[in-house]
């Protein structure tokens, strides 16, 4: 009998609050299924399972603060029997229960109906101002769970960032960046180059498509970085106690600003294998979910290199800080018209500034310069992206 443990959601996370179980004892699960929701400084994280089987016993109760690595539930894999589930999950001895929400005030109608809802559903309903008596329950025995309230809230209007404390997030970001600057020997490189071919290719692509299917220029940047990582694996991976270990997969993290303050950089898995159209779809989905404060555990933990851009804000050059345990982050500024040598003449061309912040324990400036030149070459041949 295997156990399903609280995952690590980044170098700055030590614990999270398990706010809702989405699976119950006896339920069949498959790799990638969302089984629980955990609240952290980054917001509400959907926690995935990474093996097939059936949920056995829930080891941690909802509302419990859980350190990273704590067993959350047992999982019976193929051929194993599932133990008889307890009526309710009991908290494990180590974690400390903390209050995460009070039930919303009960109206006379709610008393009459006798509404059954999970704590997370009650909390979200209170945030949205929804009467639980008007929400259809899709949980066990018709109980209302968080997903039911999300759907009801979407019908009412945009869902808020569930439980997202921006001041708490800022403290978490500050702690991670302070650790990065303290422990990682950064070096910084900048390289400017013209991107006429990429802009022309983008214009041709978008001219043939409806607005919903068009690309943003940032799609090309993320894809170029992903392809460049194939040739420069020393920038794609993690630095741990045993030194640097390159990753065989390329999961590019995309830095996304959260309205009102805060930042997250979740991963797009196997970025180098996606077409630009597939990548755009994933980027749109990711931006929408992150700005609502909800994303998946693997998206936070799996990024092997990160891309950050302030081009839409008109910033010409940025020098981002590495997010540990990664060893590199690429920054991109705005594409701006600049005088540029063309043969023996000078013409105005669209110019992009790309920067690299890298860990000197894993690479050096010479290889970093070649990496930036490789990104330039890829953007000069956008048909290959």
Q: Which of 188, 201, 42, 39 is nearest to 120 (CA)?
A: 39
- Hey, what's the torsion of the CAs at 285, 288, 291, 295, to 10 degrees? -40
Residue 32 tokens, joined: 């990638």
Q: Which residue has the higher pLDDT, 129 or 37?
A: 37
- Tell me, what's the pLDDT at 93? 44
**Is the per-residue pLDDT at 317 higher than 50?**
yes
DSSP 3-state assignment of 122? helix
Q: Which residue has the higher pLDDT, 316 or 123?
A: 316
Which residues belong to CATH 2.40.50.100 in the chain?
A: 2-97
- Tell me, what's the pLDDT at 34? 86
Are 123 and 115 in contact by the 8 Å Cβ rule? The answer is: no
Cα of first residue to Cα of last residue in the chain, in angstroms, is 44
**Is the per-residue pLDDT at 85 higher than 70?**
no
Give the percent of the chain with pLDDT over 70: 83
CA atoms within 13 A on the CB side of 93: 0
> Can you tell me the distance from the alpha carbon of 355 to that of 306, in angstroms, rounded to the nearest whole number?
12
> Can you tell me the distance from the alpha carbon of 62 to that of 64, in angstroms, rounded to the nearest whole number?
6
Mean pLDDT of 103-121: 49
Indicate the range of 45-59, 188-202, 253-267 predicted with least confidence: 253-267
Residue whose tokens read 């061309």: 349
DSSP-assigned letter for residue 334: -
Q: Which residue has the higher pLDDT, 384 or 296?
A: 384
- Tell me, what's the pLDDT at 313? 83
Are 122 and 135 in contact by the 8 Å Cβ rule? The answer is: no
- Tell me, what's the pLDDT at 377? 97
Mean pLDDT of 81-101: 45
Mean pLDDT of 252-257: 92
DSSP strand pairing (305-309 vs 252-254) = parallel
Burial of 168 per CB tally in 10 Å (0-12, 13-18, 19+): middle
**Confidence band of 42 (pLDDT split at 50, 70, 90):** low
Burial of 80 per CB tally in 10 Å (0-12, 13-18, 19+): middle
Are 161 and 296 in contact by the 8 Å Cβ rule? The answer is: no
**Is the per-residue pLDDT at 120 higher than 90?**
no
Report the CATH fold assignment for 177-384: Chloramphenicol Acetyltransferase (3.30.559)
**Confidence band of 82 (pLDDT split at 50, 70, 90):** low
- Over residues 163-181, the pLDDT tens digits come to 556 677 777 778 888 999 9
**Confidence band of 107 (pLDDT split at 50, 70, 90):** very low
**Confidence band of 236 (pLDDT split at 50, 70, 90):** very high
> Can you tell me the distance from the alpha carbon of 148 to that of 298, in angstroms, rounded to the nearest whole number?
23
- Distance, C-alpha 378 to centroid of its chain: 26
Residue whose tokens read 């609050």: 17
- Tell me, what's the pLDDT at 374? 98
Indicate the range of 43-47, 91-95, 171-175, 215-219 predicted with least confidence: 91-95
- Tell me, what's the pLDDT at 156? 63
CATH 2.40.50.100 fits 2-97, yes or no: yes
Q: Which of 284, 233, 227 is nearest to 254 (CA)?
A: 284
- Over residues 139-152, the pLDDT tens digits come to 766 778 888 888 88
- Distance, C-alpha 337 to centroid of its chain: 33
> Can you tell me the distance from the alpha carbon of 11 to that of 104, in angstroms, rounded to the nearest whole number?
35
DSSP strand pairing (252-254 vs 267-268) = antiparallel
Burial readout 278-307 (b: 16 or more C-beta within 10 A, e: otherwise)? ebbebbeebeebbbbbbbbbbbbbbbbbbb
Which residues belong to CATH 4.10.320.10 in the chain?
A: 108-156
Q: Which of 202, 239, 194, 238 is nearest to 219 (CA)?
A: 202
Q: Which of 370, 212, 385 is nearest to 285 (CA)?
A: 212
Q: Which CATH architecture has domain 108-156?
A: Irregular (4.10)
> Can you tell me the distance from the alpha carbon of 382 to that of 377, in angstroms, rounded to the nearest whole number?
9
DSSP-assigned letter for residue 67: E
Q: Which of 219, 24, 226, 4 is nearest to 139 (CA)?
A: 24
Residue whose tokens read 């741990």: 240
Q: Between the CA of residue 88 and those of 21, 85, 166, 371, what are the distances in Å? A: 11, 8, 33, 54
- Over residues 222-231, the pLDDT tens digits come to 999 999 999 9
> Can you tell me the distance from the alpha carbon of 22 to that of 139, in angstroms, rounded to the nearest whole number?
8
- Tell me, what's the pLDDT at 7? 81
Mean pLDDT of 72-97: 58
Which residues belong to CATH 3.30.559.10 in the chain?
A: 177-384
- Tell me, what's the pLDDT at 102? 34
> Can you tell me the distance from the alpha carbon of 328 to that of 361, in angstroms, rounded to the nearest whole number?
11
- Tell me, what's the pLDDT at 260? 66
Q: Which residue has the higher pLDDT, 238 or 264?
A: 238
Are 352 and 191 in contact by the 8 Å Cβ rule? The answer is: no
Mean pLDDT of the chain: 83
């Amino acid at each position: 009998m295997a156990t399903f443990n609280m995952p690590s959601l980044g170098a700055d996370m030590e614990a999270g609050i398990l706010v809702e179980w989405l699976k119950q004892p006896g339920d069949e699960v498959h790799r990638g299924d969302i089984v629980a929701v955990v609240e952290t400084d980054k917001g509400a994280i959907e926690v995935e399972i990474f093996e097939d089987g059936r949920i056995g016993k829930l080891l941690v109760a909802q509302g419990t603060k859980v350190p990273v690595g704590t067993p959350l539930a047992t999982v019976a894999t193929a051929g194993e029997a599932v133990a008889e589930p307890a009526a309710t999950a009991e908290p494990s001895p180590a974690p400390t229960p903390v209050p995460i929400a009070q039930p919303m005030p009960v109206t006379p109608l709610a008393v009459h109906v006798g509404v059954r809802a999970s704590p997370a559903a009650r909390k979200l309903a209170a945030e949205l101002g929804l009467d639980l008596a008007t929400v259809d329950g899709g949980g066990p025995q018709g109980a209302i769970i968080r997903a039911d309230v999300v759907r009801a809230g979407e019908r009412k209007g945009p869902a808020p960032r569930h439980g997202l404390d921006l001041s708490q997030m800022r403290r978490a970001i500050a702690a991670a960046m302070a650790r990065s600057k303290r422990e990682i020997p950064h070096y910084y490189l900048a390289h400017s180059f013209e991107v006429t071919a990429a802009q022309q290719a983008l214009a041709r692509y978008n001219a043939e498509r409806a607005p919903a299917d068009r690309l943003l220029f940032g799609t090309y940047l993320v894809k170029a970085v992903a392809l460049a990582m194939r040739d420069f694996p020393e920038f794609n991976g993690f630095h741990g106690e045993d030194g640097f270990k390159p990753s065989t997969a390329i999961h590019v993290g995309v830095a996304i600003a959260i309205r009102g303050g805060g930042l997250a950089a979740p991963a797009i898995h196997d970025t180098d294998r996606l077409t630009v159209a597939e990548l755009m779809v994933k980027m749109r989905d990711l931006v929408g979910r992150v700005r609502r404060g909800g994303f998946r555990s693997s998206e936070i933990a799996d990024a092997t290199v990160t891309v950050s851009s302030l081009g839409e804000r008109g910033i010409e050059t940025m020098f981002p800080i590495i997010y540990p345990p990664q060893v590199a982050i690429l920054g991109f500024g705005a594409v701006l018209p600049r005088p540029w040598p063309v043969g023996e003449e000078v013409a105005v061309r669209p110019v992009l500034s790309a920067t690299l912040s890298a860990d000197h324990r894993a690479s050096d400036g010479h290889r970093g310069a070649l990496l930036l030149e490789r990104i330039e070459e890829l953007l000069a041949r956008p048909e290959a992206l």
